[in-house]
Structure 1
Amino acid sequence: MDDLFHECGIAAVCHFETDKPSELVPDKDPNQASRLVPGMLLDMQNRGQLAAGFTTFNPYRLQLIDTHKDVGGVAEVFQMNHQERYLNLMQEYAGQAAIGHVRYATCGRDDRSYAQPFERHHIARSKWFSFVFNGQLANYLELREEILQTTDFHLTRETDTEILNHLISRELSETPDLDFLVLLSKLAQRLDGSWNLAYMNANGDMFVSRDPRGIRPLCYAVDGPLFAAASESVALTHLGFAEDSIQNLEPGHAIIIDHNGLRVEKYAESPRKAHCFFEWIYFANAASNFDDAGVYLSRKRLGEELARRETVPIDEDTIVVPVPDTAKAAADSMAFELKVPSLEGLIRNRYIGRTFIEGSNRADKVRMKYTPLPEIMDGKRVLLVDDSIVRATTLKELLRLLRERGRAREIHVRIACPPIIAPCYYGIDMSTIGELFAPDFMADTVITEAEEQAMADEIGADSLRYLPVEAIAECVGLPRENLCQACVDTIYPTPAGEELFRKAVISRQRGNQNCSRIFDSE
C-alpha cells in the first residue's frame, strides 16, 4: 500500500554435464542454458523493478565470464520486446552457466554501477568471479568502517553488496584456491543479517548459498544435467521442473557445482530459522511455495481470519474490495466467509512506470495509479482489505479518492497483518521508527480497539482492524519460532538487528525524531 519494497531476487542455472542434453534447455544445447535466466528474472520482477542483469560462463570465448546489466525492468534490460535484439543478446552471452538478479535498492543510487551481478576481473581464473546478493547486512556500517580503517581498500558505493565484494576478494587474495565451504564459513563468522548468494568464477565453478537463519527464501531443482535456483519457486516451475523436484535450500547450506559435480553441503550451524513472514503476506509471487508453506494459501487463511474477527454489520449493501494486487487472495477468502461479494472496486493502472510518477505529489500518484469504480461502491459499506500499513501516506489519499470519486458510504479498512511498529534491517525498505504509522498511536505492542479507531480517524476511515501477531504463524502455516516477525513484535533474530533497534529507540526518545508512545518506557 505504501510502496513498500524488497531488496531483490536472485537466480542461477548450470548445465553441469555437457555431454548429456537437457529437455529444459533451448535446442538441448548446454551453451543455451543461460537463456533461461531472463525468463526466471521476469517471474521474480515483483522482487525488484529498478535494475536487472546476468553473468554467463562460456569456456569457448575470451571473456570466460561476462556480464550484462542495466537500470530498468527485466524486459527492458534484456530487450525482450524486440525479438531480434533479444536473440542477438542471448547469442552474445550464451553460456552453460549463469547467475541473474533483479534489484530494488534499500540503499545506494539508481544507476547502472549499483545493478547486479557484481563482476570482479582478475588474470587468475579462480579470482575472476561474479556474484549476486539478496538480503541486507545488519552490521553493514561496522564492516564498512573496518574496511576503511584497517585496509587500503576504497569503497565507491554505499551498498552492502560492495562490502561482500571486498570480503570475498580479500579471502581469495589470501588463499587463491579457497574451498567454497571454507569461504562461506568465514563469511558466516563476519556477516549479520540476511544474505543469500549465487557466485560463479571463470573456471565455471558455482555455489548458491542461504544464510544461517534462512531469512530470505531460496529454492532449487535438478533435472538430469540441469541445475537451477531462484528466490521464487514459480521461476523454477515455469522452466518445466516437476513440482516434486523443487526443494528449499536449508539455512546454513550451499549447493556447490565444480569438477566434482553437484553437491549440497552445510557450511554453518543454524542458530534458529527466522523466515521473514512478510514474504507470505506481501512480497512473494502468489504462485510460489517455499519452506513448506504456500503463498496463496497463506493469504487465503489471512482473509479467513479477518472474516472471523469482523464485527461490522453485514447486509446486502456490504462489499469487500481488495487493494490491488497482493491483497486480493485475502479479500476473496474474507468475502467468501462473510457471504458477501468481493469486487474490484479499485482498478490499478499497471502500465504507469516508476519514473513517470517519480516527481509527482502523493495525491497525483494515487490518482494516476488507482481508479475507483463508483458503479461498484456508490452507497455501499466497503470493507477495504490491504496487506499492510507502513507509512499510511498513500492510504490516506486513497481513502479520500474512494469517498470523492468512488462515492462509498462507509469505508472499513481491514489489514491482513499486525501493526508494523519496528524497522526492518534484513532487506525491507523501512529503516526508521519515525517513518512508521502505527507506533505514534500505540501504548504497547498489543493494539487496542480505541487505538485502532484513533488510527481510522487519522486516515479517514470509519473503522480500522489489524490481525493480531499470534494469528500470523497459524495463517502462514509455520511454527512461530521459525519466523522473523521483528517489524511487528520487536524480537530481532540477530545481534546486530537487536543493537540497531536499541539505538533507534534511544534516538527516538532523545527527540531526534517525533516522540513515539509505544517506546516511551523502553
Structure 2
Amino acid sequence: MREKCGIFAAYADNAPEKAYYSLLSLQHRGQEGAGITFWENGIKTIKGIGLVPEVFKGGIESKSSLAIGHVRYSTFGSLTEVQPIEVKCCNYKLAIAHNGTLTNYLPLREKYESEGFKFNSTIDTELIGVAFLKHYKELGDEFKAMEEVFNEVRGAYSVAILFDGKIIVARDPAGFRPLAYGEGDGFYFASENSGLRMFTNKIRDVFPGEVFVVEEGEIYSKVLKKLPHSHCVFEYIYFARPDSNIEGVSVYLARYRMGVELARESPAPGDVVIAVPDSGRTAALGFAHESGIPYMEGLIKNRYIGRTFIMPSGRELKVKLKLSPVREVIEGKRVVLVDDSIVRGTTIKRIVKMIRDAGAEEVHVRISSPPIRYPCYMGIDIPTRHELIAAWRTVEDIRREIGADSLAYLSIEGLKRAVGIEDLCMACLTGHYPEWAFDFEL
C-alpha cells in the first residue's frame, strides 16, 4: 500500500526555501520524486527523481514570494513524470501539483482530445490544468473556472496551482484527501498541518470544495461546491504523520485509540507487546496500555531504508534490511505483534518468521484496522482485488498463511470509535464507494 503525494503552496518571503522545508516534512507521502515551482517574471521549476535533499542538493537560488511544491508517489503515469508539471493551453501557462486520483480521467481526457486539446503526459494532473485554463479563458475568473472543474472531474484531488503571478489552491468537494491552510507571516498550504507548523500555529483544514486565490498579498476564498464528506480513513490508520491533526482529530490519538479498541475486542495471551515500526507503534502502545501487557521495542528499524510499501520494487530484501529483532526482548516470550494493516500478507509473514527465529514461544498478530478487501480508486495505491489477501480468504486462512498462533483485526465499528468522526471513506474495507466519485458516463 502506498500513499500518493504531498503538496505545498506559499505566498511568503523566501517561498521556495520554505517549500523545501515543508516538503521534507511531507517526505513520507512520496519518495520517488520532488519538485518546486516559483514565480520570477514567469514560471520556473526545479524537480527530479529522488528524495527532497537529493533533488535540491544544489539549493534554490530564488527569493520569490510565490512557490508550490510536490513530493510524489506514482499511482498514475510514469515514474519520470515528476510534479509540479507545467501546462500550456488556450494561450496561458500554469504549473500544478496534485494529490489524489481522478476516477473519470480517461473518458474526460478523451472528451477533451475530441475537442482538439493536446496532452503532453499520461498523468491525470495535467487534465485538471487543461480544464482550468479552458474555463478560465471562457469565464475570465479563477473561482468560476475552478467551479467548472469541480463540475467536470470526479475523484480525489487537492491541488496547488501557480498561474499568472497568483496561487490557486483547491480541495475536491468531497474532501477525500487532506489539505491544511495556515496564516502567519504569509499564506501557507500543505497536505498535512505538520508541514506548516514550522511557519505558523494558526492553521485549519481547507474545507471540501473550498478554493483559495492569493494575489498581490491578498487572499480570497470561497466554498464553491460541497458533497457528503468522504475523508480517507487510511490517513488516520497509516498515511499521515502521527503529529498531524486532520479534521480536528489527532492522528496520534486516533491510532492510540485503535490499539485500545483492538485490545478490548481481541485480547491476546502475551508476555510482551511489540510493534511493526513505525506505523504500528502508536496502536501497539494503546493495546499494551489497555491489556496491561508491557510494551517493548522488539523490532528495530534501519532508518536508512525507505518505507517498504512506498518503494517501487525489491520488497523482500528491503524487509530484511529494514527490520532487526531484539532477541533479548523476544526469546522465550509470548509475543503480541501489532501492525496497522495487512495488504498482500508477504511482509507480515516474513516478520512473524523473523520473530519465531528470534526465539518467541508464540506470536499473536493484532491488526489495528479491518481487513482490506477492495481496491482504492481515490489516490491510494491499494492493489487489484486478487492481490489482497483478505479479499478471498478468511481470517483463519490468513493466520495459517502468515504462520501466527492467532490473528485478529479491528472491527469497522471499533475503527469508527477510534477515529471519532462519521464522514469517512472506507471503501477499501467495505466495498461501498462514494457514489459521486463514479457519477459519470463512460
| Fold agreement, TM-score > 0.5 | yes
Deviates more, 1:408-417 or 1:341-350: 341-350
Contact 2:174 2:209 in 1 (8 A): yes
1:191 aligns with 2:132: no
Within the candidate set 118, 128, 141, 1:179 is matched to 141
1:446 is matched with: none
1:477 is matched with: 420
Contact 2:267 2:291 in 1 (8 A): no
Higher strand share: 2
1:488 aligns with 2:440: no
Contact 1:425 1:497 in 2 (8 A): no
- Matched residue SS, 1:434: helix
1:234 aligns with 2:194: yes
2:369 is matched with: 417
Distance 2:6 2:168 in 1: 16
**TM-aligned CA deviation for residue 258 of structure 1:** 2.0
Within the candidate set 6, 15, 28, 1:9 is matched to 6
1:46 aligns with 2:28: yes
Contact 2:343 2:388 in 1 (8 A): yes
Within the candidate set 183, 208, 220, 2:169 is matched to 208
Deviates more, 1:138-147 or 1:95-104: 138-147
- Matched residue SS, 1:335: helix
Distance 1:183 1:122 in 2: 14
Closer, same or farther: CA 130–414 of 1 in aligned 2, 3 Å? same
Closer, same or farther: CA 333–496 of 1 in aligned 2, 3 Å? closer
Distance 1:364 1:431 in 2: 20
**TM-aligned CA deviation for residue 262 of structure 1:** 1.0
CA-to-aligned-CA distance 1:185-220 (integer Å, 9 cap, x gap): 111111111111111113x11211111011111111
Closer, same or farther: CA 283–359 of 1 in aligned 2, 3 Å? closer
Distance 2:420 2:229 in 1: 14
1:461 is matched with: 404
**TM-aligned CA deviation for residue 358 of structure 1:** 6.3
Distance 1:122 1:497 in 2: 27
Closer, same or farther: CA 333–183 of 1 in aligned 2, 3 Å? same
Distance 1:458 1:123 in 2: 56
Counterpart mapping for 1:120-139 below 5 A: 120=87, 127-139=92-104
2:43 is matched with: 65
Closer, same or farther: CA 156–486 of 1 in aligned 2, 3 Å? same
Contact 1:492 1:498 in 2 (8 A): no
Amino acid at match of 1:304: V
Counterpart mapping for 1:443-458 below 5 A: 451-458=394-401
1:104 aligns with 2:104: no
Distance 2:287 2:352 in 1: 20
Distance 2:237 2:90 in 1: 46
Deviates more, 1:393-402 or 1:298-307: 393-402
CA-to-aligned-CA distance 1:85-138 (integer Å, 9 cap, x gap): 32xx2x2x3201111111001122221xx11111235896xx221111111111
Distance 1:251 1:137 in 2: 16
Distance 1:249 1:495 in 2: 20
1:169 aligns with 2:129: no
1:365 aligns with 2:332: no
1:34 aligns with 2:16: yes
1:152 is matched with: 116
Contact 2:35 2:69 in 1 (8 A): yes
**TM-aligned CA deviation for residue 271 of structure 1:** 2.0
Closer, same or farther: CA 325–497 of 1 in aligned 2, 3 Å? farther
1:295 aligns with 2:251: yes
Within the candidate set 345, 355, 370, 1:402 is matched to 355
Q: TM-score, normalised by structure 1?
A: 0.80
Amino acid at match of 2:159: L
Of structures 1 and 2, the larger Rg is shown by 1
1:119 aligns with 2:86: yes
Counting aligned pairs with the same residue, the percent is 39
Deviates more, 1:371-380 or 1:488-497: 488-497
Amino acid at match of 2:384: T
Amino acid at match of 1:74: V
Closer, same or farther: CA 215–366 of 1 in aligned 2, 3 Å? same
Structure 2: 5+ residue runs without aligned partners? none
Closer, same or farther: CA 179–499 of 1 in aligned 2, 3 Å? closer
**TM-aligned CA deviation for residue 171 of structure 1:** 2.6
Closer, same or farther: CA 497–347 of 1 in aligned 2, 3 Å? farther
**TM-aligned CA deviation for residue 173 of structure 1:** 4.4
Contact 1:452 1:463 in 2 (8 A): no
Distance 1:384 1:397 in 2: 13
Contact 2:32 2:79 in 1 (8 A): yes
Amino acid at match of 1:106: T
Contact 2:6 2:191 in 1 (8 A): yes
Counterpart mapping for 1:248-287 below 5 A: 248-259=205-216, 261-268=218-225, 270-287=226-243
1:350 aligns with 2:303: yes
Distance 2:254 2:273 in 1: 19
Alpha-carbon RMSD: 2.2
Amino acid at match of 1:461: A
Distance 1:33 1:286 in 2: 26
**TM-aligned CA deviation for residue 174 of structure 1:** 4.0
